[in-house]
Amino acid sequence: MKIEMPPSTMLNPVPVVMVSCAGKEPCNPETGPNIITVAWAGTVNSEPPMVSVSIRKSRHSHDLICQSSELVINLVTEDLAKACDYCGVRSGRNEDKFKKMKLHPKPAPGLQYAPLIDESPVSLSCKLRDIIELGSHDMFLAEVVAVSVDEKLLDNKGKICLEKAGLITYSHGEYYTLGKMLGFFGYSVASKEALKRRMPKKMTKKSNKK
C-alpha cells in the first residue's frame, strides 16, 4: 500500500552544489565573493546550455546575483562536504566563508564578477538570463558560458570522467556519496559489444547470465 502525504518537495535525491557569486564591487566586504549551498539546482536546456538555481529572497547571495547577473555552480566532492554544509548554514553577511573554509576564489572564465571555487573539480560559469518569482524561492535561470574542469578528471582522449571526482548528492536533508554504476543511458537496448566496452566487468558477467 501507498500512503498519501501532503504535497511537498519530495523529489530526491538532488544535486548538492556550492554557488559562488559576488556583487559589482568585489572589493567591498558587503558585496565581495560569497558561497551559498543549493540543493534545488538543475539543467533546464541543452542549446544553449542553461541551468537553474532556486534561492530565497532573504539570502545574501540573492542580492549579489541580482547585482552582477553572474553565478558559478561548483560541483561538490566528499572532501568538500563539510565546507558545503557550513556554507549552507552560515550567512555571507556576517563572515567571509571562503576564508573560514580555507577555499580559494579564482577568476571564472567568461565572467567579470563571480569567482569559481578552486577546490571544486568542475565549475560552471553562468550568466543570468531571467528570474522567475515562485513563492518561497526565486528561480534564477542562467546560461552556461564556460566550464572549468580539473585536468585530473580527463582521460588520454580528453573525456571527462566524473566518476573519478567523488561527487556527493543530497537526499531528504542528508548527504550521500554516489553508489556503484548500474548502467549508462541506453544500456537496456545496447549490444553485447557496447555492454562489454562500457560496463564494469562484474556487471557484464551478471548481464550475460541473465
Within a domain: residue 8?
Answer: no
Within a domain: residue 61?
Answer: yes
Q: Are residues 134 and 199 in the same domain?
A: no
State the pTM of this model. 0.91
Within a domain: residue 172?
Answer: yes
Q: Which three cell numbers stand for residue 40?
A: 534545488
Give the number of domains in the chain: 2
How many helices (H) and strands (E) the chain has is answered by: 5, 12
Q: Are residues 197 and 129 in the same domain?
A: no
* Closest to 173 in 3D by CA, of 23, 8, 28, 25: 8
For residues 197 and 204, the answer to whether their CB atoms sit within 8 Å is no
Within a domain: residue 1?
Answer: no
Give every strand in the sheet of 41-45, ordered side by side: 34-38, 17-21, 70-75, 122-133, 138-149, 50-55, 41-45
CA distance 90 to 86: 6
Within a domain: residue 4?
Answer: no
Q: Are residues 62 and 157 in the same domain?
A: yes
Q: Are residues 19 and 101 in the same domain?
A: yes
Q: Which domain holds residue 72?
A: 14-177
Q: Are residues 173 and 187 in the same domain?
A: no
Within a domain: residue 121?
Answer: yes
Q: Are residues 108 and 162 in the same domain?
A: yes
Within a domain: residue 119?
Answer: yes
Per-residue pLDDT of the chain (210 residues; tens, 9 = 90+): 999 999 998 999 999 999 999 999 867 878 899 999 999 999 999 999 999 999 999 999 999 999 999 999 999 999 999 999 999 999 999 999 999 999 999 999 999 999 999 999 999 999 999 999 999 999 999 999 999 999 999 999 999 999 999 999 999 999 999 988 888 889 999 999 999 888 876 554 444 445
Q: Are residues 165 and 189 in the same domain?
A: no
